[in-house]
Amino acid sequence: MSKSEGKKSGSDIIISDMSHCKPASAFSKRESWNRWQLLAYRTYDGEPQSGVLLGAPSFVTAPEVTMPLNIAGWHAVSIGFWIPKHDYDGAMTIKVKLDNDPCFSRIFEPEPVFGNQPKDGASLLKEAPFKTADLTGRRLIFAKLDGSAAQKAYLAYVRLTPLDEGAVRALQADRVQTDTRIVEITNDGSMHGCKAWTKDQILEMVEPCRDSDVGKVTWACCYGDTTNYPSKVGSYICGQKNHKRIVLDNNPYYMGHETAMDTFRHLDAKGIIPQAVVAEHVHKMGLKFDAMFRLGMVGYIPPRRLIGHLNSGFIRAHPQFRLCMADGTPVEKASYAYPEVRARMLAIIRESAELFDIDGASLAFNRGPLFAAWEQPVLDDFRKEFKADARKLPLDDPRLCRIRSRYLTEFVRDARRVLDEVGAAKGKRLELSAWYYGDPTSALESIREGLLDSVVCSVNGDTGMDPDIIAAANAQGCRCIPGFHGGPLSVAAKRVYPKGADGIALWDADIWGANWPALRRMGHREEFFALAKTPPERPIIGLKDVEGCNLEAEHGRFGLAQPAYSGG
C-alpha cells in the first residue's frame, strides 16, 4: 500500500484519500447529478489529519465505487464519515460491502442536532464499525441509498485494525458456536420508507444478522387481512385499485407510505416476493425463519386510512363483524369473537405456511391487543355462563376477560392445527409462537394447553415480564422470551434477562441503528452488560476545513456556524 493510499496510526491503517477508488469516471470536483464529488479536508485533532472524501447529497444518483485494499490478513474494518447539519439534507446512509459479500450492509447515522457537544458549532467526522474479515485479495465497494428513499452519503476514510493470530482463532471459534444465538428479530415487511427494489436490496435488511447472536428472523406476512405477498385469500397490497399517489405537506408518514408502495410495485413487476428471498438467505446463514401475522383487521378510519394500505377489505365488506362498545357503537376493527374473522386469518396463515419455507409462525397479539369487546357472541356467552349482562361491566372485569380469551385460545388452537397439517405435508414440524402485550389471560390459557412452542411478552420501561407467564411457560416446556420494543441499552440490560427466560426478542430490529453493534451481542451476556453500561466510544474528529471552507468553531461562534446559520 503506497503512502498516498494509506497511512498507519499506531497499529491501524487509515485510508483517507478516497479518490483512489475506481472508476475515476464516478467522481467530479464539482457538484454533479450522477457522480460523487471529491472534497479535500483537513482536521485539527485526531487521525486522519487530512484526506479527500467522497460526497453526494440525497438527490444525487452516484454510482458504486470500488476501493482496492492491497492488504493481507484479518482486520476490523471501520468507516469514517461526515454528516453535515448545515446542508438541511437529513440523515445519512453509506452502503458498504466486501467484493465477496452477498449484499451491501448499511451504515446509518441520524441527522445531528446542534448543541449537544462542545464542538457542534464545527463539523465532525464520525466512525462506525463495518465488519471483521480476512481482507486478503479483497476490495471494498461503496454505494449510496437512492430513489424515493434517498439519503446523502459522505465517505471520509477507512480504518483497518489488524488482528493477531490469537484474536483470529477466538473470533472464528465464536462464529461457529451456536449457544449464544438466543436473539429473535422482527421485520414488519411493510417496506415503509425503505427502497428495496431488487433481491440484493432485500437481503441488506437481514445481512446484519450474520455472525451475530441472532438465531431467528421473523418477517410479517400481513397486516390484518392485507397481505404483502400475492395472495388468493387476503387483500394483496399491490392489488388495491383505489390507491392514488398522494404526498401531503411532505409528511414523513405519507412519504414513507409512497416509498413502500413504489417498492411493492417494482417487486411485483419482477415477480420478487420478499419472504421467499429472505427465507433462503436466512437459512444459508444457519438461522431460522418465521412468518409473522399481525392480527388486527382495521376497518375504515378517515382520513389517513383512505390512502393507507392497512384498510381491511374484509371489514368493509362485512361490517357486522366489527368490535362493539358496551352501548352497541361499532368500532372499526374486526372481532375475533366471530368464527368468520378467525377463519379469514387462519386461511392467510395456511397459505403463507404453504408458500414459504418457514420454520414456524408468530402470532402478533401485541400489535393491537384488543380483539373482542361487547359483541353479540360475547354478550350471549357471558349471559349463558354468568347469568348477567356484560354491558354493565368494565372491559377489564376478570369474568369478561375470561370469556374474550376463549375466542383467542380457540384461534391459537386452530392455528396449531393448521401448522401441523401443513408441516406434515412438508415433512417437518412447524413451530408456533406468539407475542403478547397487556392482559395475560389468553396467553396463559394457550401456554397451559401446550399450544405454543414459545411466548414473547413485551417489555417496556420497567414493567418486566408477567411472573405467571414465566412460571406457566417453564412448567410446560414453552420457551419464554422477553420482547424489547426500544429504548436505552441500560433498560435492555436491566429487563431482558429475567429468571426463567430463554432468549430475547427485538421488535423492528431493522431500525435500531447505532445500538446494533451492542444488540447483536446480546447472547454474550457479560459482554452485553459491559457494552450497555459503558458504550464504546466512537471516534469523533473535528474538521478544520473542507475545500478551503473554514469549519472551525468555538461553541458555534466562528467558522462554519456563522455563514451556515445566517444563510439557513
What are the pLDDT digits (tens) for 80-91? 999 888 888 888
Q: How confident is the model at residue 44 (pLDDT cuts 50, 70, 90)?
A: confident
Cβ atoms 140, 78 nearer than 8 A:
no
Q: How confident is the model at residue 248 (pLDDT cuts 50, 70, 90)?
A: very low
Please state the rounded mean pLDDT for residues 543-560. 70
pLDDT at 306: 43
pLDDT at 4: 35
Please state the rounded mean pLDDT for residues 188-199. 82
Shared domain check, 367 and 242: yes
Say yes or no to pLDDT of 118 above 50: no
Q: How far is Cα 346 from Cα 416, in angstroms, rounded to an integer?
A: 10
More confident call, 409 vs 461: 409
pLDDT at 240: 54
The total domain count for the chain is: 2
The reported pTM is: 0.89
- CATH number, domain containing residue 146: 2.60.120.260
Task: Give the model confidence (pLDDT) of 135-183 as tens digits.
Answer: 999 999 999 988 777 899 999 999 999 999 999 999 999 999 999 999 9
| DSSP codes of every residue in 195-211 | ---SHHHHHTTTGGGTT
**Is 531 inside a domain boundary?**
no
Shared domain check, 203 and 135: no
Shared domain check, 135 and 78: yes
pLDDT at 242: 47
More confident call, 304 vs 491: 491
Q: How confident is the model at residue 555 (pLDDT cuts 50, 70, 90)?
A: very low
Q: What is the percent of the chain with per-residue pLDDT over 70, rounded to a whole number?
A: 85
- 3-state secondary structure at position 478: coil
Please state the rounded mean pLDDT for residues 313-342. 95
| 269-278, 391-400, 461-470: segment of lowest average pLDDT | 461-470
Say yes or no to pLDDT of 284 above 90: yes
Shared domain check, 393 and 262: yes
Q: What is the percent of the chain with per-residue pLDDT over 90, rounded to a whole number?
A: 59
| 130-144, 241-255, 324-338: segment of lowest average pLDDT | 241-255
Say yes or no to pLDDT of 426 above 60: yes
Q: How confident is the model at residue 563 (pLDDT cuts 50, 70, 90)?
A: low
Shared domain check, 190 and 141: no
pLDDT at 486: 67
Shared domain check, 550 and 480: no
**Is 541 inside a domain boundary?**
yes
| 140-144, 372-376, 482-486: segment of lowest average pLDDT | 482-486
Cβ atoms 433, 453 nearer than 8 A:
yes
Shared domain check, 195 and 103: no
Shared domain check, 322 and 232: yes
According to DSSP, the β-strands at 183-187 and 36-43 are unpaired
**Is 528 inside a domain boundary?**
no
Report the candidate in 322, 432, 414, 419 with the shortest Cα–Cα distance to residue 377: 322
Crossing angle between the packed helical segments 376-386 and 398-426, to the nearest 10 degrees: 120
Task: Give the model confidence (pLDDT) of 444-473 as tens digits.
Answer: 999 999 999 999 987 654 456 788 888 899
**Is 532 inside a domain boundary?**
no
pLDDT at 114: 57
- 3-state secondary structure at position 279: helix
- 3-state secondary structure at position 550: strand
* Identity of the amino acid at 240: Q
**Is 379 inside a domain boundary?**
yes
Shared domain check, 282 and 149: no
**Residue appearing with cell numbers 363483524:** 321
- CATH number, domain containing residue 187: 3.20.20.70
Shared domain check, 185 and 99: no
Say yes or no to pLDDT of 263 above 90: no
**Is 12 inside a domain boundary?**
yes
Residue 124 structural domain: 7-173+537-567
**Is 542 inside a domain boundary?**
yes
Say yes or no to pLDDT of 344 above 70: yes
Q: How far is CA 452 from CA 215, 435, 557, in A?
A: 18, 11, 61
State the chain's mean pLDDT as an integer.
86
Say yes or no to pLDDT of 42 above 60: yes
According to DSSP, the β-strands at 65-68 and 139-144 are antiparallel
Say yes or no to pLDDT of 365 above 70: yes
Find the helix or strand (DSSP H, E) in which 516 lies: helix 516-519
Please state the rounded mean pLDDT for residues 517-526. 88
Report the candidate in 468, 444, 295, 446 with the shortest Cα–Cα distance to residue 370: 295
Shared domain check, 197 and 131: no
* Identity of the amino acid at 220: A
| 21-25, 42-46, 222-226: segment of lowest average pLDDT | 42-46
Q: How far is Cα 176 from Cα 487, in angstroms, rounded to an integer?
A: 30
pLDDT at 557: 47
Per the omega criterion (within 30 degrees of 0), is the bond before 23 cis? Answer: yes
pLDDT at 303: 64
**Is 505 inside a domain boundary?**
yes
pLDDT at 137: 96
Shared domain check, 321 and 209: yes
Say yes or no to pLDDT of 278 above 70: yes
